[in-house]
Structure 1
Amino acid sequence: MAGLVILAAAMTSPDAEEALRLAPSSNWHVNYADDSCRLARAFGTGDKEVTLVLDRFRPGPKVHMTLTGQPIEVRDGIRRITLRFGPNDPAFEKGVTPGMLGNGKAALVVGGGLWITGYDPAVAAGESDAAQPEPPVIDPALYAAIRFLELRISSKQTVVLETGAMAAAEQALAACTDDLLRGWGIDAEADKSLSRRAAPLGSPGDWIRGSDYPPRMSHLGYQGLVHFRLIVDDQGKPKSCHIQQSTRPKDFDDAVCRKVMVRARFEPALDAGGRPVVSYYTNSARFATPVAR
């Protein structure tokens, strides 16, 4: 799944003295939405509080991460973060988009999908989901072994979120995504036995081009991240486009669906017997202004 981008440091142990360790200050909360499943938990309190949000837009182990709170507030020039779900998984870097919530809290949107555990760090660091194939079914014991999430941002104090075991949280997300498919009119069990998933013909990067950047948004310097879902018919044509989540403004949402519905074509999904069937495809498009140098 190739993430669409439209343009108009060494790891230390979380036991190091400079790390800010934050214990949970809430339970895990799972939100069942029409187009996504959200797992969220707060760590720390007051001006040290950080909220971890993991969104899943389709079945499988990948999640999209957002972090909010003063300890992760960064300068506009910061575009990378180093993550580690410890103690057994290795560290990897990801691109980030800084922002601000309506309540004034700083936010970091981590670019692309990522795995909570069971990843190859070289693959996990990729910005294009096309280079990040879904891994085999991940052993639940790996989720159970997680104890913390370490966050390293250049020129910032290391932050360690003491997540504890994440097996139950992952099970809740998996149950939610099965429910998502039923809401889309897709048989969740049949989906698990597909012999081929809907596969783009050509590069998804060609679906949305620089000239598609909404002029008003480009003029204002606005950036946007749009997660979208297509229902793909048994001939490989998109039947509908749905915005699963977006940073808004709506100009970006409209641009994505309008262009993708015209340009996207697929090899249709095949059921266990090799017959073409209706399925779905999810991806994201990021509208970003070039970073000044």
Structure 2
Amino acid sequence: MISLSPVRIVALAAVFASASAPAIAREPVTLERSSQWNVDFARDKCRLAAMFGGTDNQHLLFFEQHYPNARAGLTVAGPALKHFRSRSRTDLSFYEGQESMRTEPFTGEVETVGNAVIYSNVHVEHGTDSFETEQDGLPQLDIGLAERIEFVSVSQRGNEVRFATGPLGEAFKVLNTCTQDMVRFWGLDVDQHLGASRMPEWLNENAVARRIASEYPRSALMRGEQAILRMRVIVGTDGKVERCEINGATTTEKLESPACAEMEDAEFSPALDANGQPFRSFYATSIIYQIRQ
């Protein structure tokens, strides 16, 4: 993941907030699911979504993937989240007895339901922290962990909102199927990926990522525009980038990333199949444009 933070803004409001009284824990707002789970099989993303709450109190939850991954983007939205602030400490958990994971999500809005808490990528056991995956070949969501999910709980300054999802093993299986379909759409061999002994490895990541990070688009910066973008490159058997695409996980107006232009200089060790032979594959990551406050 490439995280871009060009400036730091210190606001008086933040100074005053530090002297405020501690948050008082309240009873959680629990929202029951009010619709079926739906999976959108699109060419550039897979989305698992459902509505929560009553007809006069509608909320939305969705998991989203733009490429096969052990993590998924997560968005929860609705009126119960109106007091949540962007990049503030937010506790996240998925089942009873789980130690809450400290996170700092974005906030925004989702049309028709309102205020939203937005995560670029989360994992059921690791939250937003980095971790080493033990999976070989094509990254996939862990179905066993998904079966342990009871809810999605976000809590900030004593305000907890809990989406009662129930186990999501079968739903995550469908997401895995959807991302495999995307790999086929890109013109790649899914079976080779499932049995791969190695996925592509980015050799000059630090140098290229620094150049991407140094070029926060000025028009977007002047507007205070932030974004979560998904970048995907096709890597040939020689380790060269054949093509690059960027898709927005959040809506932007002026923010056009220079990442694909910089990726022309990226160098990879190619993916290796089960027999150790190079094959055409992909490398994907998230690019987060963020103005720190």
> What interval of TM-score do these two structures reach, taking the shorter chain for normalisation?
0.7 to 0.9
The amino acid that maps onto 1:219 is M
Aligned residue number for residue 231 of structure 1: 234
The amino acid that maps onto 2:100 is A
Aligned residue number for residue 115 of structure 2: 106
> How far off its partner does 1:76 sit?
4.5
Aligned equivalents of 2:265, 2:237: Cα separation in 1: 17
The amino acid that maps onto 1:153 is Q
Gaps of 5+ in 1: 9-15
**Residue 72 (1) aligns with residue 81 (2):** yes
The amino acid that maps onto 2:213 is R
Find the partner of 2:35 among 26, 32, 35: 26
The amino acid that maps onto 1:209 is A
What does 1:2-81 correspond to in 2, within 5 Å? 2-8=1-7, 18-46=27-55, 48-74=57-83, 76=85, 78-81=87-90
Aligned residue number for residue 172 of structure 1: 174
Aligned residue number for residue 187 of structure 1: 189
Q: Percent identity?
A: 26
Aligned residue number for residue 153 of structure 1: 156
TM-score, normalisation: structure 2: 0.83
Aligned residue number for residue 147 of structure 2: 144
Aligned equivalents of 2:141, 2:87: Cα separation in 1: 32
TM-score, normalisation: structure 1: 0.83
Aligned equivalents of 1:139, 1:107: Cα separation in 2: 25
Aligned equivalents of 2:246, 2:252: Cα separation in 1: 12
Aligned residue number for residue 283 of structure 1: 285
CA RMSD of aligned residues (A): 2.4
**In terms of mean alpha carbon deviation, does 201-210 or 220-229 score higher?**
201-210
User: SS in structure 2 opposite 1:144?
Assistant: helix
User: SS in structure 2 opposite 1:151?
Assistant: strand
Aligned residue number for residue 245 of structure 2: 242
Check whether the contact 1:35–1:180 (CA below 8 A) recurs between aligned residues: yes
> How far off its partner does 1:65 sit?
0.8
Check whether the contact 2:34–2:52 (CA below 8 A) recurs between aligned residues: yes
Check whether the contact 2:77–2:113 (CA below 8 A) recurs between aligned residues: no
**In terms of mean alpha carbon deviation, does 183-192 or 84-93 score higher?**
84-93
> How far off its partner does 1:93 sit?
1.9
Find the partner of 2:217 among 198, 214, 217: 214
Aligned equivalents of 1:97, 1:17: Cα separation in 2: 23
Structure 1 residues 77 and 40: CA distance shift in structure 2, 3 A: closer
Structure 1 residues 220 and 37: CA distance shift in structure 2, 3 A: same
Aligned equivalents of 2:102, 2:86: Cα separation in 1: 16
**In terms of mean alpha carbon deviation, does 23-32 or 232-241 score higher?**
232-241
Aligned equivalents of 2:122, 2:253: Cα separation in 1: 26
User: SS in structure 2 opposite 1:86?
Assistant: coil
Structure 1 residues 274 and 264: CA distance shift in structure 2, 3 A: same
Measured against aligned partners, the alpha-carbon deviations of 1:51-97 in whole angstroms (never above 9, x if no partner) come to 11101222243111112111122454653321111036432122211
Check whether the contact 1:50–1:72 (CA below 8 A) recurs between aligned residues: no
Structure 1 residues 162 and 77: CA distance shift in structure 2, 3 A: closer
> How far off its partner does 1:178 sit?
1.3
Aligned residues: 270
Find the partner of 1:115 among 123, 136, 143: 123
User: SS in structure 1 opposite 2:94?
Assistant: strand
**Residue 274 (1) aligns with residue 283 (2):** no
Aligned equivalents of 1:149, 1:22: Cα separation in 2: 10
Structure 1 residues 88 and 176: CA distance shift in structure 2, 3 A: farther
> How far off its partner does 1:50 sit?
2.4
User: SS in structure 1 opposite 2:166?
Assistant: coil
> How far off its partner does 1:30 sit?
0.2
